[in-house]
Structure 1
């Protein structure tokens, strides 16, 4: 070996040893959640907890108002979603939406300056109307997932016009030729699957359609008795599960018993809540976001030209419950009413299929 290579090797060793003793992860707190010996526990990095708590604080509350005055639909023109609120409730809700979504842009983010408030000339107003319908549907029809906590615009937006955690179809890489074949989105670490080599886009497969796409790792029967669940399905499922773990800041054992991952009878209650959450996300994407495909301008679309969609990260943002379970609809019952549907809006579909 030449002197140059020896010197490079020695430098690499010194650098590696130096890095090994320079960076520390900090202490890890372990909380036992199940019986001893079955690895049912949650691990938390103590140094990361303060930042997570700071990032999941509610904004200053807006004082409640008495439901006074006429209905908003009688006072203002073109109020298609919140027309069942009184004028006082309506103004309070509009003030809150501005603070939740566009605190810097103000009302003109959705209402064109110099035009009547009833004007729909800005695409942001059309989108906001659809999002209000979505918020009410989640609070009314998806208690199986959000329980009595509920959601508001702030759950996702956190003071930003475009929430973090949205996703678009992954264009991937061009299929390789020859023996390498198509990587199927694998072997290129992506943040949404925990920087693993799992398929980087499990969302297009599992979080868009209404029907059960077959989220599972093992088959229901042994081969060759009709079991057609492939290894690729297992890899996509693992990718989605890693995404859920990262989004909620929890281990796999938050929803699964480590002695029998597939067995519902041995799983914690959180698994049922997550099951409903997956179906709620599908419903939100199918009923409220995909229909906006022709509304968003080109610069708000993904590299494949598709509209932004939601996943677990959109609401949870690293917390096992969004905003660590802070009650949302307790202060905003106006967003927990079904209300009138806008023209062309179909009723949201709740979960109607048994657990699998």
Structure 2
């Protein structure tokens, strides 16, 4: 009898310890962001913050080089993106990219002995990534503002960014004998170890799907889908936002009405643009590189790595706490003529996106 009691006590203790392991250890700090009693608080864990601070420090920029003299594409061969820079600034930019992306591998990570050679896939990819960076810094300022992005924003000294995503592997139903999990109920880390749909990225950051929680009518009307499954996918994406930025719901939303834009924080509009920026970059830059990458760099279903909020933010409300690295590297914006041309081409998209996001009651999330 005594042995049974001991075993039961031990079982309860182990179970309790396992459950508590998933909770944050107090104390935590709360910052009030609205009226008292409304739950408008931002929760900060000092221990997590202390661990994060060293990882969110931007490297010191070297002085901008002399812009006089011949252009890089007049001196070097096969320079397609940064050719408008002076030779000195081009060399400085290349040195910075090496430190940002491949500090251990060095120039050989992208180049052969013939620097004009394009035989390495890394060089082809990096050229396209420079174009993507230039687009973000000129056409997605609604999201990145004056801070902008650099290669270091995502790479942080690693050839492959730490935070990327691939399309989730479909469930092996084994002739339907084990049931249909319907893309959820697996406690995935990307959705906060909940049972929510574990691939909200394909739905919202690749496909052009509206983020919805509930509808305004008893029965579905029109083409706007706002059912329970859509709500679960939305909450999955919101869990990702929370972890990626190290914030809770009230960073963007007002507890008075999560679906209302009237009292929402400015960060919600920033996130609205961020969703659309991620779709743009995944579809118009990353997807096009699928055949460029070797098989070992593709996901389990053969798709290319893609970006989400964590790719840049990596747990901070602003990447690198808002350090404005891009302003020190003029090559991360396109040549003036190219920038003007791209702005004209993107005018219809930008015109639609520049207007304040319009929300109805059905728009219960970003």
Tell me if both proteins adopt one fold, taking TM over 0.5 as the criterion. Answer: yes
Shift in Å at residue 36 of structure 1? 2.0
In structure 2, do the counterparts of structure 1 residues 291 and 241 end up closer, same or farther at CA, with 3 Å as the change threshold?
A: same
Q: Matched residues in 1 for 2:17 and 2:243: separation?
A: 29
Deviations 1:297-350 (A, max 9, x none): 000000000000000000000000000111122212321235677xxx996664
Contact 2:111 2:117 in 1 (8 A): yes
Shift in Å at residue 216 of structure 1? 0.8
Deviations 1:239-273 (A, max 9, x none): 00110111000001100001200001111110000
In structure 2, do the counterparts of structure 1 residues 231 and 82 end up closer, same or farther at CA, with 3 Å as the change threshold?
A: same
- The alignment's TM-score, normalised by the length of structure 2, stands at 0.88
Deviations 1:77-130 (A, max 9, x none): 111111111111111100000000000000000002x3x111000000000000
Q: Determine helix, strand or coil for the equivalent of 1:120.
A: coil
Match of residue 322, structure 1, among 291, 296, 319? 319
In structure 2, do the counterparts of structure 1 residues 14 and 269 end up closer, same or farther at CA, with 3 Å as the change threshold?
A: closer
Match of residue 118, structure 1, among 112, 116, 119? 116
Match of residue 182, structure 1, among 168, 180, 183? 180
Q: Matched residues in 1 for 2:129 and 2:24: separation?
A: 43
Q: Matched residues in 2 for 1:21 and 1:214: separation?
A: 36
Aligned: 1:290 with 2:287:
yes
User: Where does residue 241 of structure 2 map in the other structure?
Assistant: 244
User: Where does residue 157 of structure 2 map in the other structure?
Assistant: 159
In structure 2, do the counterparts of structure 1 residues 330 and 189 end up closer, same or farther at CA, with 3 Å as the change threshold?
A: same
Q: Which runs of 4+ in 1 moved over 6 A?
A: 17-24, 176-180, 345-348
Equivalences for 1:114-153 in 2 at 5 Å?
114=113, 116-153=114-151
In structure 2, do the counterparts of structure 1 residues 221 and 318 end up closer, same or farther at CA, with 3 Å as the change threshold?
A: same
Deviations 1:188-245 (A, max 9, x none): 1111111111000001111113x3x121101144425546422111111110011011
Equivalences for 1:52-63 in 2 at 5 Å?
52-63=52-63
Contact 2:212 2:225 in 1 (8 A): no
In structure 2, do the counterparts of structure 1 residues 127 and 20 end up closer, same or farther at CA, with 3 Å as the change threshold?
A: closer
Query: RMSD across aligned C-alpha pairs, in angstroms?
Result: 2.5
In proportion to residue count, which structure has more helix?
2
User: Where does residue 216 of structure 1 map in the other structure?
Assistant: 212
In structure 2, do the counterparts of structure 1 residues 180 and 299 end up closer, same or farther at CA, with 3 Å as the change threshold?
A: closer
Q: Matched residues in 2 for 1:187 and 1:16: separation?
A: 21
Question: Number of paired residues?
Answer: 348
Q: Matched residues in 2 for 1:258 and 1:320: separation?
A: 19
Gaps of 5+ in 2: 360-366
Shift in Å at residue 73 of structure 1? 0.9
Q: Matched residues in 1 for 2:11 and 2:88: separation?
A: 68
Contact 1:165 1:310 in 2 (8 A): yes
Q: Matched residues in 2 for 1:292 and 1:21: separation?
A: 44
Contact 2:66 2:86 in 1 (8 A): no
- The alignment's TM-score, normalised by the length of structure 1, stands at 0.90
User: Where does residue 86 of structure 2 map in the other structure?
Assistant: 86
User: Where does residue 274 of structure 1 map in the other structure?
Assistant: 271
User: Where does residue 230 of structure 2 map in the other structure?
Assistant: 233
Q: Matched residues in 1 for 2:102 and 2:322: separation?
A: 23
Gaps of 5+ in 1: none
Q: Matched residues in 2 for 1:247 and 1:57: separation?
A: 17
Q: Determine helix, strand or coil for the equivalent of 1:31.
A: strand
Q: Matched residues in 1 for 2:218 and 2:93: separation?
A: 55
In structure 2, do the counterparts of structure 1 residues 104 and 320 end up closer, same or farther at CA, with 3 Å as the change threshold?
A: same
